Amino acid sequence: SMPAIMPSPGGGMTMEKVRAMGDVYGDDVLLLIGGSLIGHSPDLVTNARFFLDVAGRRDLYGPLEVTHHPVLSPDLAPASSSSAEARELVTLRRQYAAMETKLEQLTAMVMSNSGGSQSSVAAEAESGAGTTLPPGAHAPLTPVDGNYSKVFHRAPDATDGGWAWARIPQEMYKQDGGSFKGCSRYELLGKRGESTVFQVRYFEVAPGGWTTLEHHRHEHAVVGVRGTGEIQLGPHVYPLAPGDVAYTAPGDTHQLRHAGGGDGAGEPFGFICVVATDRDRPVEVDPKEFVDQCGARHALQYNMRAALEGQAAH
C-alpha cells in the first residue's frame, strides 16, 4: 500500500562512486553530484559526458523526455524496439502528459488560494481603476512565494495573545536532536523567494524550555516580543523582555531559555531572530562541560548551573 519511491543519495558524492552506487541501487536512482562534477576538469561539458559514461547512460534524455528535447545525434536516438515496447512507450508518454496537466491544475489552484501571482494581484487592483473602495475594503492578499513585496498578518484566531501568522505554517525548531526542549519556529521572510541576504524568523520557547546551547561563525540579532526569557552569552546570563534586543557575535556560545520554572505554567517566551541567509552550521556545546568551564573562571549567576546541568540530564 506504500507508494513507490526513488532513492536519491547525496552529500559527499563523487563520480568515482557512481558505478558502485549503481550496483547498490540499480538503474532507478537519482544521483546528486555537484562539487565532484565541477572539479573533475575545467571543461563542464566534458565533465557531464564523463558523468553520463560512468553512470552507463548512452542517451542525453530519458525516454519520457525525447518529445520535449531534440535528439542531438543519430547514435543517441532510441534503439528500435518491438511493437510491445513501442506501445508501452506511448502509454508512458500519455501518462506523463496527463501528470503534467494535473500538475498545472494543482499549481493554478494553489496560486489562487495563496493570493495568486504579482500579475494577478495587479490585475485585480486595476479592475476597479478610477473608483474608490468602500470603507473596510481590504487590499488583495500578497503572494506567499516569490520575490514580491508582501505582508503577512497575525492569524485571525490569535486573539488570546498567541503568536501565529496567516498562510505561514508553524515548524519544528530543528528536525532532530535532544539538545532543545519546547521550541517552535515560523519562517517569516527570506526563505520563500525573497532576494534578502537575511532571514527573519519567530521562535517560541514554552515554559521550562530552552534552545540549543551552541556557537557558530555567523552573527544574529534577537528582539523579544512575548513573555520573558533569558539569553546565555558566554559565561553571562541576561534577561529578555518584550522590546529588549540582543546581539550574538561570531563564535560566542549562546542559548535562549524561558525565564520561568519547569512546571509548564506561564506565557511562552517569543522572540524575533534575524540571521544571514548564507551561514555556517551551528556547533552544539555540552551544557555540563560548558558550565564547569565557566565555573572555573567566573562567578556563576544564580540558577545558571542548575539550568545547564538540568539540560545535561535531559
- Separation CA 290–CA 297 (nearest Å): 11
- Which cell goes with 4? 513507490
Residue type, 252: D
Please tell me what DSSP assigns to residue 61.
S
User: Which of 148, 173, 163, 154 shows the shortest CA–CA distance to 256?
Assistant: 173
User: Which of 79, 42, 44, 33 shows the shortest CA–CA distance to 58?
Assistant: 79
Alpha helices in 31-82 (DSSP H): 35-39, 44-54
Alpha helices in the chain (DSSP H): 18-25, 35-39, 44-54, 83-113, 118-126, 287-297, 304-313
Cβ contact 187:201 at 8 Å: yes
| 273 belongs to the catalytic site | yes
| φ, ψ at 132 (rounded to 5°) | -115, 130
Other CB atoms within 10 Å distance of the CB of residue 25: 15
- Separation CA 204–CA 135 (nearest Å): 36
Instruction: Indicate which residue of 144, 273, 291, 304 is catalytic.
Output: 273
Catalytic residues: 273
